Amino acid sequence: MDLQHVNVKIFVEGDLSLDPSRFISVFHQWIQDQVLDELLIDVADYCHVPDGPGVVLIAHEADYSMDHTDGRWGLRYNRKAAVAGSNEDRFRQAFRSAVNACVLLENQFAADGPLRFSRSEFELFINDRALAPNTPETYAACKPELEAFCKRLFGRGDFTFDQPTDHRRRFGVLIKSTSQFDIR
């Protein structure tokens, strides 16, 4: 299965202590300075949507957002453009991009009392229901590559996958580990 449109959401630890609207000006500054690898274009404010996308930084190749889907704040990376290589390469690319944005946000708000992203829990999912339907067959086909990716990330096999079984949801896994990945 040749997966594209990989999404990664790295959760905020604890409660979000900042007003989410503050991300609007930060993302606008990122556009002016073009601080990320993608061509940054615009910002959309969806903070008024309960459990929604929050504040979205729109780029040509991918979108970044401070996302509140399912009632949990986190930085979400949504890859839109195709990425060459293996599925594991695509997982790594999306994860690195998400982590890079998390580091920038943690540094941006360091003086405001901390914004910290999890180092042991994140969600990885595929934003293409036709390519990767949320079925046991898709999970079985993707599990070896997900395991290989996580073993490299965490350095060993002390992680778990929670795979939502509701076929109406996108295919993905919630990944939790007792060890922490290095966000820097």
CB of 54 closer than 8 Å to CB of 24:
no
Residue 166 lies in a domain: no
Write down the pLDDT at residue 117: 95
Residue 147 lies in a domain: no
Write down the pLDDT at residue 67: 96
Write down the pLDDT at residue 111: 83
Write down the pLDDT at residue 156: 74
DSSP string, 117-168: EEEEEEEEEES-TTTS-SSHHHHHHHHHHHHHHHHHHHSSS-EEEE----TT
Residue 110 lies in a domain: yes
Q: Provide the domain count of the chain.
A: 1
Write down the pLDDT at residue 54: 96
CB of 27 closer than 8 Å to CB of 38:
no
Residue 136 lies in a domain: no
Residue 154 lies in a domain: no
Residue 94 lies in a domain: yes
Containing domain of residue 102, as a range?
6-130
| Cα distance between residue 16 and residue 66, in whole Å | 10
CB atoms within 10 A of CB 82: 10
Mean pLDDT, consecutive 10-residue stretches, the chain (184 aa), reads 95 92 96 96 96 96 96 97 95 97 94 87 95 94 94 85 90 92 72
Residue 170 lies in a domain: no
| Cα distance between residue 45 and residue 181, in whole Å | 30
Write down the pLDDT at residue 184: 67
Write down the pLDDT at residue 179: 83
Residue 135 lies in a domain: no
